[in-house]
Amino acid sequence: MSAESNTELREMAESVFGDAWDSSTDAFDAKLWESVEQTGLARLTLPEEAGGSGGTVSDAAAVLTAAGQFAARVPLVETDLLAAWLLHAAGIEVPSGPLSATVAGNLTIQPAAGGAGADVSGTLRRVPWGRAVGAVAVLAGEQVLLVDTTGAGVEEGVNLAEEPRDDLVLNELTVRHVAVVPSVAVVEFPLRAALGRALLLAGAARGAVAMAVRYATERVQFGRPIAKLQAIQQSLALAGAEVAAAAAATAAAAREVDRRGFAEASFAIAAAKARAGEAAGQVARITHQVHGAIGFTREHDLRLVTTRLWAWRDEDGSEAYWNDRVGARALEAGADGLWPLLTGTP
């Protein structure tokens, strides 16, 4: 899509997610899910012939940033970037409804007693939105399993933002759809997860600073809005720069994926997730400081975005994890190769 239609897409997504803003619950937002299904955002990057919208990863970037900004309570990254992609790559028909996806290393998989498929035992750990989705795409080695959650035991857990991160216990569960994916998919899965999470982070950072700017212009102390105080202006300018950095890094990584594919964009994705994670901590700190005590309470909505910043920076690889990979790439490149690595031009 062109830059122009990308702007339209972003505005549409901001409107859809903004309308759904609701601090009274942390549960899956079924009504919002209907909206994203109707508007084609739910399977945005899945090819049209597989029932998706055939969008680019840059399109997904615009949508996911908006979802993060408005703390959308739907598994968009999991459904579109991960599960639908993985199932489609494995030649398994993508089921309707919200989906999740995970990588599992410790499952016992045996040919099904009754014919097609497999009997699967083991636990899928901290599956995003596990309790809320009908099915989970599981990558076990190079095998893809489509696990129907109705047959799984659910042990509920949450992340810092109280988003579901549930353990799904499989006890000789018969999985009918089992297929093998090319090994590149194994490489691609964590990169997709990291980019998706980084885009959400960039959005949540934007949402937090937007709230702090608004609060600063409304909150009066010393006889004037605190926005007039240089100390507040300087702090929020720093936070604004962090938002800009997270946005630039994640949008650039998405573009890189559109140009070269996920595997070839691994350096960009690693740098983007690390940089967005770094921005997250700084933005959460500054926006809470600007809000004062009220932002530290359950009654104020700031927590919806700041708890997501804290949760997501550690999910799908923290700054430490991705910077370690970036550092290894720099060492491998050496003194003469560092600038070519940064510019992507050998």
Partner 1 sequence: MTDTMATLPDLVPPPVELPERVAALRSEVRAFLAEERAAGAWRPRADTWLSGWDERFTKELARRGWLGMTIPTEYGGHGRGALDRYVVTEELLAAGAPVAAHWVADRQIGPSLMRFGTEEQRQRFLPGIAAGEVYFGIGMSEPDSGSDLASVRSKADRVDGGWELTGTKVWTSGAHHAHAFFALVRTSPKDDTNRHAGLSQLIVDLKAPGVTIRPIPLLTGAHHFNEVVFDKVFIPDSMVLGEIGQGWHQVTSELAFERSGPERYLSTFPLVVALLGEIAGHDLDAGRRRDLGGLVSRYWTLRRMSLAIAGALEAGKAPELAAAVVKDLGTRFENEVIDAARLLVSIPPDPGGEQGGFARLLADAVLHAPGFTLRGGTNEILRGIVARGLGLR
3-state secondary structure of 152: coil
- Residue from 37, 148, 162, 301 that binds partner 1 (CB under 8 A)? 301
Among 2, 24, 25, 343, binds partner 1 (CB under 8 A): 343
Length of the chain: 346
> Minimum CB separation from partner 1 for residue 108, in Å?
33
Is 1 among the residues that bind partner 1 (CB under 8 A)? no
Distance CA 71, CA 312 (A): 12
4 exposed, middle or buried (CB, 10 Å; 0-12, 13-18, 19+)?
Answer: exposed
Q: How many residues bind partner 1 (CB under 8 A)?
A: 67
Taking CB under 8 A as the criterion, the residue among 172, 234, 263, 264 binding partner 1 is 234
The DSSP annotation for 11-74 comes to: HHHHHHHHHT--TT--S--HHHHHHHHHTT-TTSSS-GGGTS----HHHHHHHHHHHHHTT--S
Tokens describing residue 130? 């596990």
- Contact between 163 and partner 1 per CB under 8 A: no
Which of 21, 51, 219, 261 is close enough to bind partner 1 by CB under 8 A?
21
Q: Given the structure tokens 């739907």, which residue do they identify?
A: 74
Cβ proximity to partner 1: between 46 and 66 the closer is 66
Does residue 269 touch partner 1 according to CB under 8 A? no
Q: Binding to partner 1 (CB under 8 A): which residues in 311-340?
A: 319-320, 322-331, 333-335, 338-339
Q: Is 3 one of the binding residues for partner 1 (CB under 8 A)? A: yes
Give the span between the Cα atoms of 203 and 195, in whole angstroms. Answer: 12
Q: Are 299 and 224 in contact (CB under 8 A)?
A: no
Q: Is 310 in the site for partner 1 (CB under 8 A)?
A: no
Answer yes or no whether residue 297 interacts with partner 1 by CB under 8 A.
no
Three-class SS of residue 254? helix
Binding site for partner 1 (CB under 8 A): 3, 14-15, 18-19, 21, 70, 206-207, 209-211, 213-214, 216-217, 227-228, 230, 232-234, 236-238, 240-241, 243-245, 247-249, 251-252, 255, 259, 267-268, 270-272, 274-275, 278, 301, 319-320, 322-331, 333-335, 338-339, 341-343, 345
